[in-house]
């Protein structure tokens, strides 16, 4: 693989384009409007400048990385790509339409990956005639510093596709795990989300106060931060919607959100980004 096209120049797309270019790949970064593409390229530039300041990379490396990335709005440019990583909005209809278009535009050997957090890889793959060459490639935020990538097999994904994706991920200096059978939340969120939900249950039932719950998991379980602090950082609306997805998909009451959680969402307590969640924040903060 030499050329990678990243679709969507938002938070995840810009990060994926950056790490792919740092890994030596030629990158095409595509979004719907040139203004959004430029914002993505700017985010990458700033991130690389910070890495130069910290002595992580040299000025020459920064320059070479930026030279490897080409921004565009024209989807037909994917005809030059060996791998396409889709990181557009989390909407099944949009993703299926894009994958159908990619299937027509890309050469036969091109692998198509989606960075979806929650949608079915099999359903997305079914909109193409190359289901064996479609997989989930789930990066974590912030992409530049989180080392894990989950590789997810859809019903028909071939081992050859997984092996090529694995080689790509390793060339980025990241580590992969294989999700052998697609399932809501894959592995990380499947375990993390019920854990965070359980912390909210403990708070809602009055088992302990919020600071004590967070301290318990930091000092007693070696977690780098408490679950309620983490929920505030993720964004309570995002966490709530994933919790409901689990509840609906598995039809298992163990995934139900506590009433305290539902009430906080109705009150507009969304965590750090809204200035209030389990904790109060002086100024609303972006998650990025
Ligand atoms: P975002 O809103 O920051 O960016 C999405 C981008 O896609 C926008 O710039 C939008 O203009 C663009 N877009 C929409 N339709 C498009 C199209 N048809 N063609 C090209 N571009 C299009 O979203 P994000 O947080 O970067 O998430 C992108 C994907 O990554 C989603 O599927 C999300 O579930 C997944 N994801 C997000 C996170 C996270 O923490 N934010 C983590 C892992 C995976």
| Pocket residues: Cβ below 6 A from ligand 1 | 7-13, 30-32, 36, 87-90, 94, 98, 115-117, 139, 141
**pLDDT of the residue at 100:** 98
Q: Which of 122, 31, 123 is nearest to 75 (CA)?
A: 31
Nearest residue (by CA) to ligand 1, atom 39, is 141
Rounded distance, CA 194 to CA 257, Å? 9
Task: Provide the pairing of β-strand 69-72 with 83-86.
Answer: unpaired
- Going from N- to C-terminal start, the domains of the chain cover 3-179, 190-272
Cβ neighbours, 10 Å, residue 83? 24
**pLDDT of the residue at 282:** 81
**What are 133-153's pLDDT values in tens digits?**
999 999 999 999 999 999 999
**pLDDT of the residue at 259:** 96
Q: Is the C-alpha dihedral spanning 17, 21, 25, 29 positive or negative?
A: positive
pLDDT, block means (10 residues), the chain with 288 residues: 97 97 98 98 98 96 98 96 96 96 98 94 98 98 96 98 98 98 94 97 98 98 98 94 93 96 97 96 65
Q: What are the Cα distances from residue 230, in Å, to 78, 116, 252, 254? A: 37, 21, 24, 20
- Report how far ligand 1's centroid is from the alpha carbon of 96 (Å): 14
**pLDDT of the residue at 288:** 46
Architecture of domain 190-272: Orthogonal Bundle (1.10)
CB within 8 Å of 286: residues ≥ 6 apart: 273
Rounded distance, CA 143 to CA 147, Å? 8
The string of DSSP codes covering 43-77 is HHHHHHHHHHHTTSS-HHHHHHHHHTEEEES-GGG
The domain 3-179 having CATH identifier 3.40.50.720: the answer here is yes
Active site residues: 117, 138, 150, 189
**pLDDT of the residue at 118:** 86
**What are 154-182's pLDDT values in tens digits?**
999 999 999 999 999 999 999 999 999 99
Of ligand 1's listed atoms, the one at least distance from the Cα of 36 is 9
């Amino acid at each position: 693989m030499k050329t990678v096209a990243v679709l969507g120049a938002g938070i995840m797309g810009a990060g994926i384009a950056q790490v792919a270019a740092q890994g030596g790949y030629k990158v095409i970064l595509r979004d719907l409007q040139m203004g959004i593409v430029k914002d993505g390229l700017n985010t990458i530039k700033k991130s690389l400048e910070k890495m130069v300041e910290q002595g992580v990379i040299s000025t020459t490396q920064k320059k070479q990385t930026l030279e490897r990335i080409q921004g565009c709005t024209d989807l037909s440019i994917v005809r030059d790509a060996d791998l396409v990583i889709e990181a557009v909005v989390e909407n099944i209809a949009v993703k299926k339409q894009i994958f159908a278009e990619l299937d027509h535009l890309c050469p036969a050997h091109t692998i198509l990956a989606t960075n979806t957090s929650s949608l079915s890889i099999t359903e997305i793959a079914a909109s193409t005639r190359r289901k064996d060459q479609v997989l989930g490639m789930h990066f974590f935020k912030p992409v530049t510093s989180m080392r894990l990538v989950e590789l997810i097999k859809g019903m028909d994904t071939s081992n050859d596709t997984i092996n090529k994706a694995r080689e790509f991920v390793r060339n980025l200096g990241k580590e992969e795990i294989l999700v052998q059978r697609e399932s809501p939340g894959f592995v990380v969120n499947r375990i993390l989300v019920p854990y965070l939900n359980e912390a909210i249950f403990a708070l809602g039932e009055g088992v302990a106060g919020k600071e004590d719950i967070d301290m318990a998991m930091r000092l007693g379980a070696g977690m780098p931060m408490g679950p309620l602090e983490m929920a505030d950082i993720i964004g309570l609306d995002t966490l709530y919607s994933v919790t409901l997805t689990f509840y609906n998909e598995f039809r298992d009451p163990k995934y139900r959100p506590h009433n305290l959680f539902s009430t906080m969402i109705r009150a507009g307590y969304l965590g750090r980004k809204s200035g209030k969640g389990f904790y109060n924040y002086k100024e609303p903060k972006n998650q990025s």
